[in-house]
Amino acid sequence: MNYEEKILRLLRSNARTKISEISQQLKIPRTRVTTKLRDLKLTCIKKFVSLIYFDKLGYKERVVFFIRSPTLSLTNFNPVNNLCKLRAIHNWMIECYFKNNEETATYMESLEKYKPKIYNIVEEISHEEVYT
């Protein structure tokens, strides 16, 4: 495994790891870590984000909609956390968070013309674990 991959693994487990800590753990100079980080930001680090516990913010409903349609026109992106175009029977996957059943039902009505398959996520077993 090269140093870039090692740095990415450390950052995936804790994005706030200090350059000095990375340097110590990998036994390479801080300047080399800084250079590698700069290169990684240009090539493969998309952005730095916070992973949120939506349930602690009052969003108790997590729903995934699978839609079979060549095109998709959403009028409300507010509850959408992830929107993916798929190469499968269903063309779209929409992951949403809602505070209650009423919000979920209202959003489902807006998607009614697409006849989505609907799944409630009851437990997340693993999340953002690749490269950690």
* DSSP per-residue codes, 74-111: -S--TTEEEEEE-SSSSSEEEEEEESSHHHHHHHHHHT
Place of tokens 């009052």: 58
| Residue 117 burial (CB count, 10 A) | 13
pLDDT at 132 over 70: no
CA 53, 55, 57, 60 dihedral sign is: positive
Query: Degrees (nearest 5) of the Cα angle 54, 88, 91?
Result: 60
Q: How far apart are CA 5 and CA 40, in angstroms?
A: 10
* pTM, two decimal places: 0.78
- The string of pLDDT tens digits covering residues 63-114 is 999 999 999 988 878 899 999 999 988 899 999 999 999 999 999 999 999 9
**Among 8, 35, 24, residue whose Cα is nearest residue 131:** 8
- The string of pLDDT tens digits covering residues 29-42 is 999 999 999 999 99
For β-strands 117-120 and 80-85, DSSP reports them as unpaired
Lookup: tokens for 56: 């602690």
